[in-house]
């Protein structure tokens, strides 16, 4: 299989090269287990970068994401701003993410339309919740202070913790309605996409942990995060895809095209689809 020049670039980067190229990345053994880097969006350059953007969303750009090497091994902490700038993404900067697909007991999928206030992928329809584990022990899946060894199981647990946090923050879903043990991890996808046009200054380059949960939670969407939301059947989602007035996030389209409908047909037998290999979609 032929790989793209960009894929080859990302694959070639060592930990040392990444830390040298992106000097605002904090090496993992120097992180302080704090979820954000205060005042990292306050420079004059940042004021121009975020001109016209929502203040609450700008503040979230100070959160510390998990910077990765090609093999999904954490190497440091980088702010959400640093990890989502296309200038950095084009040089290979990669971070960890998760995507949740929440189905109710009628097997309808909860979708959200990202709010107009969002800095990246605003107003696009997508799966229930998509965000990033933070570079803290509970969401990293390892304690960097005792040099705890990385493993996929620990990383999956960290992604579930992050998912529970963000489902509350974005959709007002209480943690007790979505216990960690009910989340099913299926696979990881590695993809890159600008936010909007090819000339966008923002984008995504992620290894995305796919989590599925069946639940009937209470939910009250946060209007700063979610513009609209609804449960849909398979047929209703397919009809939405036919509507040219609707725009969907790139990761949601990739997952739907490659996986979603066969998962949907087997929601009570998902273990057969668990894959520990990263699906590269670069």
Query: Residues 6 or more apart from 241 whose CB is under 8 A from it?
Result: 248, 256
Is residue 117's pLDDT more than 70?
yes
pLDDT band at 186 (very low <50, low <70, confident <90, very high): very high
Check whether 206 has a pLDDT greater than 90.
Answer: yes
Average pLDDT, stretch 57-70? 96
pLDDT over 90 at 1, yes or no: no
Cα 110 from Cα 88, distance rounded (Å): 32
Of the candidates 124, 39, 26, 43, the one whose C-alpha atom is nearest the C-alpha of residue 77 is 26
Q: State the average pLDDT over residues 136-153.
A: 82
Distance CA 165, CA 28 (A): 22
The average pLDDT across 119-147 equals 89
* Residue 70 structure tokens: 């090609």
- Provide mean pLDDT across the span 250-270: 94
206 is catalytic: yes
- Mean pLDDT computed over 80-89: 97
pLDDT band at 199 (very low <50, low <70, confident <90, very high): confident
Give mean pLDDT, residues 28-32: 92
**Mean predicted lDDT score pLDDT of the chain:** 94
147 against 99, higher pLDDT: 99
Contacts of 14 (CB under 8 A, 6+ apart): 69
**pLDDT grade for 38, boundaries at 50, 70 and 90:** confident
* 130 classed as catalytic: yes
**Alpha carbon distance 160, 181 (integer Å):** 9
Q: Which residue has the higher pLDDT, 64 or 43?
A: 64
**Mean pLDDT within 61-82:** 96
Tell me what pLDDT residue 103 has: 98
pLDDT on residue 263: 97
Residue among 63, 170, 206, 225 flagged as catalytic = 206
Q: How far is it, in rounded angstroms, from Cα 170 to Cα 224?
A: 8
pLDDT at 142: 76
Mean pLDDT (whole number) for 133-157: 86
242-248: long-range contacts at Cβ-Cβ below 8 A with a sequence spacing of 24 or more? 246/125, 247/123, 247/124, 247/125, 248/124, 248/125, 248/126
Q: Is the pLDDT of residue 148 over 80?
A: no
From 130, 135, 139, 170, the catalytic residue:
130
Cβ atoms of 73 and 151 closer than 8 Å: no
What is the separation of C-alpha 261 from the centre of its chain, rounded to a whole number of angstroms? Answer: 21
For residues 195-221, average pLDDT: 93
How many angstroms from the chain centroid is the CA of residue 201?
18
In CATH terms, the fold of domain 5-280 is Nucleoside Triphosphate Pyrophosphohydrolase (3.90.79)
pLDDT given for residue 147 in this prediction: 66
Q: Residue 161: which of 189, 141, 190, 186 has the closest Cα?
A: 141
pLDDT at position 241 over 80: yes
User: 102 near 134, Cβ under 8 Å?
Assistant: no
């Amino acid at each position: 299989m032929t790989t793209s020049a960009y894929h080859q670039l990302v694959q070639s980067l060592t930990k040392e090269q990444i830390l040298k190229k992106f000097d605002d990345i904090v090496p993992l053994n120097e992180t302080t287990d704090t979820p954000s880097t205060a005042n990292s969006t306050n420079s004059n350059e940042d004021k121009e970068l975020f001109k016209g953007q929502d203040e609450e969303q700008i503040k979230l750009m100070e959160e510390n994401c998990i910077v990765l090497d090609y093999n999904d091994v954490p190497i440091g902490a980088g702010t959400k701003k640093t990890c989502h700038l296309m200038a950095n993404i084009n040089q290979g900067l990669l971070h960890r993410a998760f995507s949740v697909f929440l189905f109710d007991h009628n097997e309808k999928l909860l979708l959200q339309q990202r709010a107009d206030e969002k800095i990246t992928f605003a107003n696009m329809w997508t799966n229930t919740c998509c965000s990033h584990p933070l570079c803290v022990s509970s969401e990293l899946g390892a304690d960097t202070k005792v040099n705890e060894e990385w493993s996929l199981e620990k990383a999956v647990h960290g992604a579930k913790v992050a998912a529970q946090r963000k489902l509350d923050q974005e959709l007002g879903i209480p943690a007790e309605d979505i216990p960690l043990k009910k989340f099913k991890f299926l696979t990881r996808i590695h993809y890159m996409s600008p936010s909007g046009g090819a000339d966008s200054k923002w984008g995504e380059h992620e290894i995305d942990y796919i989590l599925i949960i069946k639940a009937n939670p209470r939910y009250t969407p946060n209007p700063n995060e979610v513009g609209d939301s609804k449960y849909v059947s398979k047929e209703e989602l397919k009809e939405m895809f036919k509507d040219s007035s609707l725009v969907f996030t790139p990761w949601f389209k990739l997952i739907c095209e490659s996986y979603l409908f066969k998962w949907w047909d087997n929601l009570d037998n998902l273990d057969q689809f668990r894959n520990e290999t990263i699906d590269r979609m670069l």
